Structure 1
């Protein structure tokens, strides 16, 4: 069908309030002087239902179990990530307006506003998929659409070892980390697999423990029998009703957590998280954007300072609260993997630094100066 004819059918269905059933689509086509055979008609119905109810041309990509990200930069620029770097697909839209319509409909499904007055949206779809969209003219040329797929089943640690995300022998270290109830952070860049690894580690927590998750957008789905999930929300069109991650952390502390988890530490919630981990909430964890594990203390210092916590107080709390940093990278082939493990210690000036303990590269495995300290924390793991 031509874009014009498809628009005509879409408008007819919208005006009549009808579902895109074969009979209704056939009637809409007849009103426009077009008659199709049964096979053609069913094909049109499938296309319309996918566009009006699903994710349109992106449906097959989102259904692919290997796809983690779908990125649309223009009508004929649809990229996917299958864990080996970005690939340009053959999927395309009829025009830039089709991309805009899909972005606006998905945003509406997620309960978000997306129009010229508010040209971007960040939300979670009902199936858990993370949506981010930006309209022109903020996005030059065409609407940009990013979809992060959240699979219903979390990866197990064994599966991450098989995929190469966890290096050989690394699973013993990670299991010991959970068993020792150490507080830790997973650092790395965007799309490096932080959430995937965190969910796998939470699956190792004992079944009798209660895990309370606080996230801006609910992505963590650990395979665990007792998980409480709290999700933030933006303000409504009147500017009211916003629930921040800091609010969620405060509420989580009142819910008797055995493990307090912050999906991504990115703002003022760092103050409450560090305070909680210093008051008996062992085994807490979260993720943090950082270029390297060595940058984690400075990154936390910047967040804490912005929230009103002075430098000395932050480093004092950090030293007592967080013990280990796991850092993830994406290598040259696009594979996500743990690059190193560091322990947090105070230096001679009283500031917290991340000391290398284990390092994995493509070619080698190495013990670093912090290995003995890590062994002591984990109870002698090798």
Structure 2
């Protein structure tokens, strides 16, 4: 067993020499420290130093687990993962909060972002598509917090995610080029399902993806990606989702897709879907399908539209809400609703289909209208 003090000495020696922590360089550094070890020990030290210097340090083994989607660090003593069965605390720890802080700052620097006392939080995308969010003390009072969200290891097809009646209904929604939103809470699989649905689009269609962080991975031959960019340290050069939606509309799209609708870009998306851009879609955080009109109303009003204007745009722009839920670690499609004007003139979510945990299906008042819009299934 190699002591942590020796590993630290090797780290310092390599840093001073300015060389990569390869097995050969580690062997040279160990000999310089008057320590002789076999090949297995040298490779172990090399892997540990690579993880700590250019990787995710103690988190590296967790990121390599095939089922893990999220790695969450709550200070030096708490590291949690989500492997599809809910959050699970791991045995991984850090020596102190300084080690967590250094890791967060190094990851932020690798993404070209700043993380220090003057800028105590960061949201960025790392190489390979990993989404990084970090917050430093004293904003995070319990210690440095790091959240890493991993991109899907593979693109799921729709039959991988749903079956039976839900598969037929969702396939029909895409084929009929209805505009839809995939909704649900955090970690319910909205992005994964949207990627699978977009994979069903006609290969002759041109899909424009607008995202904060490139997470959608549809298996489709004609996909163009636009990704937002934060402002630099001087506050210049930022490109937001609203700007990108406008640019996407000038790029001859067949489908405009907003990875996550959460701000003023909702105005341009609704306007686009009202001007002949059929089949547009996106994801939205919502607790229930019935909450979607209120969520969109709040976003639209915050962007400067009146309540009446939001509902007028919404009534003509969006057709369907596909709501996801998660129970017992299992993600599933729980409801499909139509959007339509209610008796008061404002848009409401009309239940069409509800799917139980056992796979059973219940028909709602919007069922007949949904079948008519998609031409049956």
TM-score tier (shorter): over 0.9
CA-atom RMSD in angstroms: 1.6
1:354 to 349, 371, 374: 349
Tell me how far 1:4 sits from its aligned partner. 4.3
Q: Which runs of 5+ in 1 are unaligned?
A: 162-166
TM-score (norm 1): 0.94
Q: Tell whether 2:300 aligns with 1:313.
A: no
1:272 to 260, 268, 271: 268
Contact 2:172 2:376 in 1 (8 A): no
Q: Tell whether 2:194 aligns with 1:193.
A: no
Counterpart for residue 136 of structure 2 = 135
Q: Tell whether 2:249 aligns with 1:253.
A: yes
Counterpart for residue 89 of structure 1 = 90
Q: Tell whether 2:363 aligns with 1:367.
A: yes
Contact 2:286 2:292 in 1 (8 A): yes
Tell me how far 1:10 sits from its aligned partner. 2.4
Q: Tell whether 2:13 aligns with 1:12.
A: yes
Q: Tell whether 2:227 aligns with 1:227.
A: no
Contact 2:165 2:361 in 1 (8 A): no
Counterpart for residue 326 of structure 1 = 322
What secondary structure sits across from 2:352 in the alignment?
strand
Contact 1:83 1:335 in 2 (8 A): yes
Deviations 1:17-52 (A, max 9, x none): 111123433444455554444332221111101211
What secondary structure sits across from 1:127 in the alignment?
coil
Deviations 1:282-307 (A, max 9, x none): 00000001111111001001110011
TM-aligned CA distance change 1:77 to 1:64, over 3 Å: same
Count of aligned pairs: 375
What secondary structure sits across from 1:356 in the alignment?
strand
Contact 1:194 1:328 in 2 (8 A): yes
CA distance in 1, matches of 2:76, 2:4: 13
Compare 319-328 and 139-148 and name the one that shifted more.
139-148
Q: Tell whether 2:105 aligns with 1:104.
A: yes
What secondary structure sits across from 1:169 in the alignment?
helix
2:208 to 191, 209, 212: 212
Counterpart for residue 80 of structure 2 = 79
Counterpart for residue 113 of structure 1 = 114
TM-score (norm 2): 0.95
Counterpart for residue 164 of structure 1 = none
Contact 1:153 1:223 in 2 (8 A): no
What secondary structure sits across from 1:286 in the alignment?
strand
Tell me how far 1:256 sits from its aligned partner. 0.5
Deviations 1:44-78 (A, max 9, x none): 11110121122222222222221111111133322
Tell me how far 1:93 sits from its aligned partner. 2.8
CA distance in 2, matches of 1:184, 1:2: 57
Contact 2:293 2:347 in 1 (8 A): yes
Counterpart for residue 376 of structure 1 = 372
What secondary structure sits across from 2:164 in the alignment?
coil
CA distance in 2, matches of 1:31, 1:93: 28
Counterpart for residue 157 of structure 2 = 156
